[in-house]
Amino acid sequence: MSFCSLSSPQSLSLFSKPSHGHKTLSSRFRASADVPDFLSADWFESRRKRPFGPRLNFSAEEAVQYQLDALMFNDQPRQDYGIEVLYRFAGFDPFERSTYFGPFFDLGQFERFRRIFHHSTYRVLLGHKEKKILSSLMVKEDQYKQRVWIRGARPEEEEIFQFTMVQRVGGSWDGYWLTESLLHDGDSFSGGVAY
C-alpha cells in the first residue's frame, strides 16, 4: 500500500480526525484529535486512573507513608489492595530470590508476596489502627531507613518494622524511591512460613 505525499489535501493524518469530504483507507486509521491511532480511545482517561505506586515526585518519607496508608486501608477498594501497592513499590528483581523480608524468598509471584503479609508477624500491618515513626535516617544520598511502631487491629497487637528505601539511578526507575526491604524487629520467621 502506498501513501500520497503529506502535503496533499488528501493526506491521512494519524493525529487528527479525518475530514468528512475525504474517504479514509480503513477504520483502523481513524484517530481522535488527542490520541494517536496506536493507543486506545480511552488511553488518556486510563492514565489518570493508573494504579497507585511509585511516583517520581515522592520523597523517601512520602513513599513509606503512602505504603503504610495503603496497608491501613488494605481491603479498600478491593481485597489486599494495600499489599498490591507495596508490591508495586518493591525494588526487587522478580526473577531472583529476594531479601525483602529478611531471609531469601522467591517473591516473583504476587501471591507469594501476599501470603507473607498474612503470616502472623506481618499481618499486624493489615488494617492497623495506629502508627508512629520511631526514627528516620538518610544513610546515603540514595538510601533511607525508617523504623515504625504499629498498633494492629487486634487487641495487644504491636510490632516494630523497618523500611529501607533506595533511590534508583539509571534505567526506567531512575529517581524513584523503591522499597529494598521491610523487616520486622524480631525473629519473624523462626517458626517458618509456608509461602
Q: Is the pLDDT of residue 188 over 60?
A: no
Is 49's pLDDT higher than 50? Answer: yes
C-alpha to C-alpha distance for 86 and 139, rounded to whole angstroms:
22
Q: What is the mean pLDDT of residues 85-106?
A: 91
129: pLDDT confidence band, cut at 50, 70 and 90? Answer: very high
Is residue 59 predicted with pLDDT exceeding 50?
yes
Q: Is 163 in contact with 146 (CB distance < 8 Å)? A: yes
Sign of the torsion formed by the C-alpha atoms of 55, 96, 122 and 187: negative
Contact residues for 115 (Cβ-Cβ < 8 A; gap 6+): 193, 194, 195
CA distances (Å), origin 135, targets 35, 81, 147: 47, 27, 5
What pLDDT is recorded for position 5? 45
The pLDDT score that the predictor gives to residue 130 is 97
Q: What residue ranges define each of the domains in the chain, with the CATH number in brackets?
A: 53-184 (3.10.450.100)
Q: Is the pLDDT of residue 11 over 50?
A: no
Q: Which carries the bigger pLDDT value, residue 20 or residue 158?
A: 158
Total residue length of the chain = 195
pLDDT score for 104: 86
Q: Among residues of the chain, what percentage have pLDDT more than 90? A: 56
Largest CA distance in the chain: 76
Mean pLDDT for 132-152 is: 97
> Is a pLDDT exceeding 60 seen at residue 126?
yes
Q: Tell me the three cell numbers of residue 194.
A: 509456608
Q: What's the pLDDT score for residue 172?
A: 87
Q: Say whether pTM exceeds 0.85.
A: no
Q: What is the pLDDT of residue 33?
A: 52
Query: Exposed e or buried b for every residue in 78-108, given b needs 16+ CB within 10 A?
Result: eebbbbbbbbbbbbbeeeeebebbeeebebe
pLDDT at 37 exceeding the cut of 50: yes
* Distance of alpha carbon 100 from alpha carbon 106, whole angstroms: 10
Least confident range of 46-60, 87-101, 155-169? 46-60
Across the chain, mean pLDDT equals: 80
